[in-house]
Amino acid sequence: MIIKQSVVDVLMFLFERYLDDEEQNNTGLAADRGHIQLRLEEMGFRNTEINQAFDWLEDLAEVHNYKQPITVKATSTRIYSEEEKKLISIESIGFLNFLEQATILTPITRELILDRVVALGHQLDAEQLKWIIMIVLHSRPGEENALALMEDFIFDESIDYIH
């Protein structure tokens, strides 16, 4: 039986095994890419998805080099593009809004998340979006509290939120 794996599955695996480790960071991950890629292939992940996941992580790391400030007024409302709405559901948009209202996400982290969603280029379910949020928060210095709260959302299924 062949199980369809996606780039998000590879990213989830990398986050759980390598990125979430305090000792490991994106540069360490890049240095060990060959070894990690072989391990992923042995586990059944396809080479295409593995390469896309590594490229996605490298692009995320490069986004931090651009220091364009995002200015948002308290009365501003984020309007989602048609492309974004095709990639994430209305419920997921509601979840992003909830996280921003709860000050777990900032306008900057929200935009980084949406950038990474668009970069994946395929529709994400709510669970996959949560993992993308965690990976983006993990990559941002100073977002440790937000990351801890997101881990609670992913691993504590009793948490509910308002749409």
- For 95-119, the pLDDT digits (tens) are 999 999 988 999 889 999 999 999 9
Q: How many whole angstroms separate alpha carbon 35 and alpha carbon 47? A: 13
Closest CA to 60 of 98, 11, 125: 11
Q: Which amino acid is at 27?
A: T
User: Whole-model pTM?
Assistant: 0.82
**More confident call, 94 vs 141:** 94
Show the tokens assigned to 60.
């995320």
At residue 163 the predicted structure's pLDDT band, cuts being 50, 70 and 90, is very low
Arithmetic mean of pLDDT over the chain: 83
At residue 140 the predicted structure's pLDDT band, cuts being 50, 70 and 90, is confident
Q: Is the pLDDT of residue 4 over 60?
A: no
Mean pLDDT of 116-138: 93
